[in-house]
Every structure is written in structure tokens, then in C-alpha cells.
Amino acid sequence: MPARSFNPAIAALREQIAAMEGESAAARGALPFGVPELDRRLPGGGLALGCLHEVAGGGNGAVDGAAASCFAAGIAARLPGQVLWCVTQADLFAPGLEQAGLGPDRVIYVEAGDDVSVLACMEEGLRHGGLGAVVADVARLSMTASRRLHLAAKGSGTTGIALRRWRRQQEAYDFGLPTAAMTRWRISVLPSAPLPVPGLGRARWLIELIRARAGESLDIELEACDGTGHLGHPAALADRPAQAVGA
Amino acid sequence: MPVSKAQAMVPGLQVLPHNPQADAASLERLALWVLQRVSPIVAVDPPDGMVIDSTGADHLHGGEDALLETLIGRLVMSGVTARAAIADTWGAAHALARHVAAPMHVAEPGTAEALLSPLPLSALRLPPATLASLRTLGFVCIGDLLHQPRAPLTRRFGPDLCRRLDQALGHASEPIEPLRPSELVEVRRAFAEPIAAAETIARYIGKLVVQLCAALEERGLGARRLDLLCWRVDAHVQTVRVGLAKPQRDPQLLTRLLCEKIETISPGFGIEILSLTAVMAEPLESRQVASSLLEAPAPDLSGLVDVLANRVGARGVYRMAPVASDVPERSVIRVAPLSDPVGAGWPDHWPRPTRLLPRPELIETLALLPDHPPVWIAWRGIRRKVARADGPERVFGEWWKRDAEMIAVRDYFRIEDEAGERYWVFRAGDGENSETGSHRWFLHGVFG
């Protein structure tokens, strides 16, 4: 993909639109993923801070939310400060999160009874402003609720991640409905790279950026978070330029 | 029985003079302890009892059974053997605790009459003279009295007998005057006209909190637990309890926490007295904060934690800390959200799933024994062919915890199906010796 060409007229228009929307995201900055293909497509060069983002799992991941929570943990791990994780069912396994870079000292879990109180707790966390990130496992996220969360996130500069997770896979159609989130991601698991010996290689994900405000969508195949929360290039892709040079 | 006779029967008997004042004082101390931990309305029921209004407090402890169990367990640990019962009325609970509970009993609502009928008359809290004459008349248990005409009974024994019966069955009210030791910081406000609107309650909560904070500041204390008691015109008491992670006396925060609970107060015909008590208070001195020009101070999360804990319950807000155990479900423990950081995490030589099922789920598999991963698994009705696998990781039972785990073994495998879904499965048993486990397969976690 060619690098985005700089056009002063377009930049001025963008500024005007941002002023109209009251967005101060540009001032807050963005968290780069460290993967140029991904960062180049995101406005601001990374995941906008102080905004609401939506992450869901694809296929079975819509129910178990394992890959999506790993992805969210990786983002939260790279933000400074404590992380508030609101859940309805307490099935997160802290050693697994630690392997995505989010150590046990940094996460405060809130176990709320239902979706409504999860959203209320998430908003409370976003409004507080002293947290690095707030993650919440939610099934239904209406436009109104997401707008509230997004405004709360913008007000305090805390990044919010709504981890969409449903009871049944059929309910995941909900993910198509519009929300106020800045970006919307779907993380699906892919078979890991074959190893020369029996065993399992590093997990691989198909990361789909379904929607990005003022950005373009894309899908990319990447390796799962390492111990510091960074995504990796699959070996084949990383080797490709070298092979091309060799050939 | 005279002392000399008792000493003759039991050699080496230790005799102490009876000291009713000391007994009463120690009972009061115990009641204060219960007040701080269990419920906002606790009263001493001399000579040997305590009455607790558990309405609105039981769910904080996980239900009535759990409440009694924890209470009795904690009393046993501090050297007090106790029996406890929960019933609709003070009278019924009093009788059940003394005559039925072994050591605890929770009566279903509306069963007081059936439960009390077979109990002896002494369960009714009557003076000994009345009991003796009732016995002379041939009344043995409460059931005998229930169907007697009331008028002759009242004429003979006075109004007390029928009042006690009515109180036990819930026909007459019996308010509990809550224990309020003088060392507790309490502020209250009585209203000439009963109040009921949420806004009015909120306004007066705000005023009370300011007074309470001033009183706390005078003593250099901060509240850890607050009780708001609302006396209604019909003599019912509505309670609101708020817990704090750290001692606090910030009026704004305390008002906010209390006002969030207003919707749980049912004002009925109106509230005539509001009283606010800091049942648990800890020293909180003002201290100087060292400021640094370079780094921002760590944000104070105690306010947020308090708000969340009062919304979802104190058990619902926690952090995870590592425990030195290889058994996955035992390797994490919940700790208080603001406890000191533990620093170290888990040893990470082996990948761990992000989602761990609450309990391992039985799956069907086909696997070669003793140490091969499954060829396919069937979980929740879906059959998956295993494309790649890694393992086994052997976890031994913790024989120092339970005898049954002496030689128990779990062999964990990481498997990946053809679509890329990664699961954590284990076989109970080592695949050779049937005593090490059932050799059935379970799915325990999902990898991201």
C-alpha cells in the first residue's frame, strides 16, 4: 500500500471535522501496535487513546472470548497504569493474561451480576481517570450505552475496551449494529505455524479491523501477543522480503 | 447444687465467683464485634444471647445459611461455642436457637407455628413463676397453649403470656433496640414531619455526613464502615450499610456512596429519624504529601474501589495473586483490590489459557495410552479433529492437602483442531495405573 499522501486541503478538512465532533483524540495520542501494516491504516498511527474500542472473537471466540481477551490484554498491558476488568462470569485465568503481558498486580477485577451493571461499572472506571484502561465483557452494547462510555472515556482520557462476548454464537449478529466505538475489531483464531517437531507454535490470529472512524478497514494475519503484549509478524511474512531478495 | 457437693463429684473442680457485670460487658463486646461485621442492627439479649436483624444484610454474606455458618465458624475460632437460628420473628428465633439449632437452623418463612408447637414452654421467654403454674395446669409444650382461649389465660397469668405467644408467631411486633456503644461516632436527626422522597433523603444524608465527618475529624478517625438507619413511622427500621476499602472522611465520597443506596430504602409511610453511625473507624491523620516535580503521583483508586464494591458487593471486586500450586484452579487466589502488589507472577515455562472453565468439562476422546494426545475430542456436542498437540504436562495431586490426592495425577495437553481452536485438555490419571485417576478426559481451558 502506498503511504498516505499529504494534502493540506484534506488535512484542513479533517481538522474542521474533528473540531465539529469535539474530538480531542489527536491530542491524546495513539498507541501503535508496532506492526507497520496495521499502524499505517489506523488514523493517528495506532489505537486512539481515550476512546472506546470494541473487540469480539470470531466463530467460537464469540462465546469463549479467549483470543479477544488476549488481544485486549495485550493492548491494556502496553498502557501505563492499573486496569479495571469488568466481567459477569469469572472465567479469566490470570496466568494466561500474564503471558499476554498483563501482570496480576495491574488488574482489578469487578464481577457484576448482569450486563447493565457491567456497563455501569465500566463507565465508573472510565470516568475516574486514574486507570490505564478499562476492559469489560459485555454482550449487548446499544448505541446509547456505547455513546455514554465513549464520552466518559473522552472526558478522562482513559481507554475503554468493550469485549463483546455472547452466550450463544447466534447472538453475535449483534456485532453488526452501529455503536459509538472508535474502532471495531474481530479476532479469530487460525492454525498455528507448523513446527519441524511435534508441538504447537505461537498462536496466530486473523485480525479484522471491521470499522475505524476516519480510517479504513483491513484484515491481517498476525501472531498472538507475546509476553509484553506485542503482536508479531508471522514468520512467512517476515521472511518474504528476504526470500524475494534471494530469488 | 452446693459447691461442696460439686467439688465432691468432680475432683479438682475450679470454682469462680459469678460476675454478672463482667458477663454482660463481655456479651456487649461480642455484640459490638457482630455489629461491625454482620448486620447494622444487633442487640444484646441477656443473659446469654444476642439478637441480630439480618434483613438486608444476609445477601452480603451469600445468603442466610452462609451468614450463620460464617458467624458460628468465626465465633468458634475465637473460642465461643454458639448456636444460632434465623426465623421470622425474634421470639421464634430465640426459641429455635435454644431448643432446635444444632448448631444452626434456618426456618422457612411462615413455618413458625409448626416449628414452635413441639417446643417446651420455657422457649417462650416467660418468668419462672408463670412457667411453674402452667406446668401445674398440665401444659407441656407451646402447641398446647396455641389453641386455648386467650381470655382465661390472660386473666390468670397477666398480659405477658399472650404477648410472648403473639411475638413469637409474628402477630405482635417486637422492635430491636440496636446496640450503640458510646464510643461509636453517631449523628442523628429527627424530623417533625416524616420524610419519604428520595431527594429529601439525599439532602439530609448530605447534612448528616458533614456532621459525621466533623465528628470523625475531631477524633482523628476515618470511617471504614457506615450504617444509615432509617426509623419509619411504623417502627420498622431500614438499614443501609456502606463499606470502605480505606479509612475515609471525605463528605463528598461518603455522601455519594450512601446516596447510591437510597433506592434500597423503602420509606413506607415516612421516615422520622435518620441516624448515621461509623461502626468501624480507624485512625486517619492528615499527612503531608511529598510532591515531586518529575513524576506524577500514583492515582488514588480507593474511591473507585469503594463505589464499585458497594455496587456489586465487596466480594465482587478483587485482584488475583499467585499461589505456589501446580493445580491450575488452585494457583490463583483473590486478594483485596488495594492490597500491596505481590511483585512476582506465575512461573511461565508453560503456556496457560486465557479462559479457564469454572470446572473441567468431561469430553469424549480417542487417545493412545499412556502419553499420547487425543486424536479427536467431542466437547459440547461438537467433534473436533486434533491437528497438532503439545504435552503432556504432568500435574501431581497435592498429597499434603488431601489424602485422596496421594497419587492422583493429571496429564495436561495443549491441542489445536483443524480450524485453529486451541484447547487445554487433561486426562485424570497417568494412563497406566488406574489408581492415579479415572482416566477420563476433561477440557479445562481455552487458549487465545
Which of these ranges, B124-128, B420-424, B439-443, has the smallest mean pLDDT? Answer: B124-128
Give every CB contact of residue B267 below 8 A, 6+ residues apart in sequence. Answer: B195, B196, B201, B230, B232, B238
pLDDT at B206: 93
pLDDT tens readout for residues B133-192: 989 988 888 888 888 888 988 998 888 888 998 988 888 888 888 888 888 888 999 999
3-state helix, strand, coil in chain B (%, to 5): 35, 30, 35
Q: Which of B312, B320, B390 sits opposite A121 (nearest CB)?
A: B312
Q: How many CB atoms lie within 10 A of CB A90?
A: 14
Terminal Cα distance for chain A, rounded: 22
pLDDT at A236: 64
Mutate to test the interface with B, among A63, A87, A105 (most CBs of B within 10 A): A105
pLDDT at B355: 92
Q: Which of B387, B418, B421 sits opposite A60 (nearest CB)?
A: B421
pLDDT at A243: 45
Terminal Cα distance for chain B, rounded: 75
B-facing residues of A in 121-160 (CB < 8 A) are 121, 124-125, 128-131
Give every CB contact of residue B316 below 8 A, 6+ residues apart in sequence. Answer: A110, A111, A112, B308, B309
pLDDT at A142: 92
Between B213 and B59, residue with greater pLDDT: B213
pLDDT at B287: 74
Residues of chain A with pLDDT under 70: 1-5, 21-27, 235-247
pLDDT at A122: 94
B289-316 mean pLDDT: 81
Using CA atoms, how far apart are residues A94 and B59, in angstroms rounded to an integer? 27
Residues of B in contact with A228 (CB under 8 A): none
Q: What is the DSSP letter of A224?
A: P
Q: Which of A95, A104, A200 sits opposite B352 (nearest CB)?
A: A95
The answer to whether A108 contacts B337, with C-beta atoms less than 8 Å apart, is yes
CA B204 to chain centre: 29
| Min distance B59 CA to chain A CA atoms (Å) | 13
Residues of B in contact with A72 (CB under 8 A): none
Chain B contact for A73 (CB, 8 A cutoff) = yes
Return the C-alpha cell found at A99.
Answer: 503471558
The answer to whether A111 contacts B322, with C-beta atoms less than 8 Å apart, is no
The answer to whether A97 contacts B354, with C-beta atoms less than 8 Å apart, is yes
Using CA atoms, how far apart are residues A161 and A53, in angstroms rounded to an integer? 5
Whether the pLDDT of residue B95 is over 70: the answer is yes
Average pLDDT of every residue of chain B: 88
Chain B contact for A108 (CB, 8 A cutoff) = yes
Topology given in CATH for the domain delimited by A23-185+201-246: Rossmann fold (3.40.50)
Name the helix (H) or strand (E) containing A128.
helix A115-128
The answer to whether B321 contacts A104, with C-beta atoms less than 8 Å apart, is yes
8 A C-beta contact, residue B3 and residue B15: yes
Task: Outline where B2-111 has alpha helix (H).
Answer: 3-9, 20-37, 64-77, 90-99
Q: Which residue, chain included where needed, has cell 456479651? A: B27
| Min distance B18 CA to chain A CA atoms (Å) | 51
Whether the pLDDT of residue B354 is over 80: the answer is yes
Q: Which of A99, A109, A195 sits opposite B352 (nearest CB)?
A: A99
Q: What is the DSSP letter of A70?
A: H
Going along chain B from its start, the domains and CATH numbers come out as: 20-169 (no CATH), 185-283 (3.30.1490.100), 355-446 (no CATH)
Q: Which of B342, B348, B446 sits opposite A105 (nearest CB)?
A: B342
Chain B contact for A100 (CB, 8 A cutoff) = yes
Return the C-alpha cell found at B45.
Answer: 439479649
pLDDT at A237: 57
Strand pairing report for A52-57 and A183-190: parallel
Chain B contact for A226 (CB, 8 A cutoff) = no
Q: Where are the domains of chain A?
A: 23-185+201-246
Using CA atoms, how far apart are residues B113 and B91, in angstroms rounded to an integer? 11
Chain B contact for A103 (CB, 8 A cutoff) = yes
Chain B contact for A111 (CB, 8 A cutoff) = yes
pTM of the model: 0.79
| Residue in A with minimal Cα distance to B360 | A91
Chain B contact for A221 (CB, 8 A cutoff) = no
Query: How many CB pairs below 8 Å do chains A and B form together?
Result: 176
Chain B contact for A76 (CB, 8 A cutoff) = no
| Residue in A with minimal Cα distance to B357 | A91
Residues of B in contact with A117 (CB under 8 A): 311-312
The answer to whether B311 contacts A121, with C-beta atoms less than 8 Å apart, is yes
The answer to whether A130 contacts B414, with C-beta atoms less than 8 Å apart, is no
The answer to whether B348 contacts A67, with C-beta atoms less than 8 Å apart, is no
- What ipTM was reported for this prediction? 0.85
Residues of B in contact with A204 (CB under 8 A): 420
pLDDT at A27: 58
Between B321 and A213, residue with greater pLDDT: B321
Residues of B in contact with A224 (CB under 8 A): 448
pLDDT tens readout for residues A97-150: 999 989 899 999 999 988 999 999 999 999 998 899 999 999 989 999 999 999
Using CA atoms, how far apart are residues A78 and B294, in angstroms rounded to an integer? 21
Q: Which of A59, A71, A192 sits opposite B416 (nearest CB)?
A: A192
